Amino acid sequence: MSRHILIIEDDLNIAELIRLYLEKDEFKVSIAYDGKTGVDLFQKEHPDLVLLDIMLPVMDGFAVCREIRKNDKTPIIMLTAKNETVDKITGLELGADDYIAKPFDMKEVIARIYAVLRRFEPEQKDDLPQDIKTFENLIINMSAYEVIISGKKVEMPPKELELLNFLASHPNRVFTRNQLLDDVWGFEYFGDSRTVDVHVKRLREKIDGASERWSLKTVWGVGYKFELLN
């Protein structure tokens, strides 16, 4: 079955160019030219991935991303003409999985789509640890893809969970941002190390204070570790 990509882009020429390349690679493609229509199409068609422009009429891309992330974890790649760090960080904080700055090369767009889809394919989970890790007030269940903190299930996107699981699988070991990109996101990931910072920040908002026996620590000038006290 061909995978379905939803393009939300108000520039007709760009949207058509992306569509032609995607259909050449045998993707099914839907297009919305404003944010509101994009949300409606997403809810109606349930695509496998969303290519989302930031500068959109009616609803901008940030609002669209926020709306999709209320109830859904479908991967989102944001497209932006603004090659500014603040736009990239804002998109990632809202739950986007990657970003591409315009003007872009279509080969790069296709490569990133495949890279993101590979991270979300169910069979890829077979490569992840399937055990249940338990710490004081923390249970990481990779078989069920869930985290329980102080007895309550905490919702988090797959990549946050995988990052937490990876660090907790190597307690007290420090990993650089680039190591985490390679081990958690994969070698095909095209983003930069700030992606790790954003995900760690979001993780801390959910897990900090749950226990004094473990924590997600920053090792300044190096990277991050899951610190476990004996």
Confidence check: pLDDT of 217 > 60: yes
Residue of higher predicted confidence among 130 and 48: 48
Mean pLDDT of 73-81: 88
Place 101 in a pLDDT band, splitting at 50, 70 and 90: confident
Following CA atoms 163, 165, 168, 174 in sequence, which dihedral angle do they give, to the nearest 10 degrees?
A: -30
- Tokens read off for 85: 């760090």
pLDDT at 84: 62
Residue of higher predicted confidence among 87 and 177: 177
Decide: helix, strand or coil at residue 1: coil
pLDDT at 151: 85
pTM exceeds cut of 0.85: no
Residues 6+ apart with CB under 8 A from 167: 175, 180, 216, 224, 225, 226
Place 128 in a pLDDT band, splitting at 50, 70 and 90: very low
- Gap between the Cα atoms of 150 and 152, Å rounded: 6
Region of residue 26 (phi > 0: left; psi between -120 and 50: alpha; otherwise: beta): left
DSSP string, 131-151: SEEEETTEEEETTTTEEEETT
Question: What percent of the chain has a predicted confidence (pLDDT) above 70?
Answer: 88
Nearest to 10 by CA among 44, 64, 42, 53: 53
Helix 194-207 and helix 158-168, axial crossing angle in degrees, nearest 10: 80
pLDDT at 116: 84
Q: What structural domains and CATH numbers belong to the chain?
A: 4-120 (3.40.50.2300), 125-228 (1.10.10.10)
Confidence check: pLDDT of 85 > 80: no
Rounded to the nearest integer, the mean pLDDT of the chain is 86
pLDDT (tens digit per residue) in 21-59: 999 888 999 999 999 999 999 999 999 999 999 999 999
The residue with tokens 């989102």 is 76
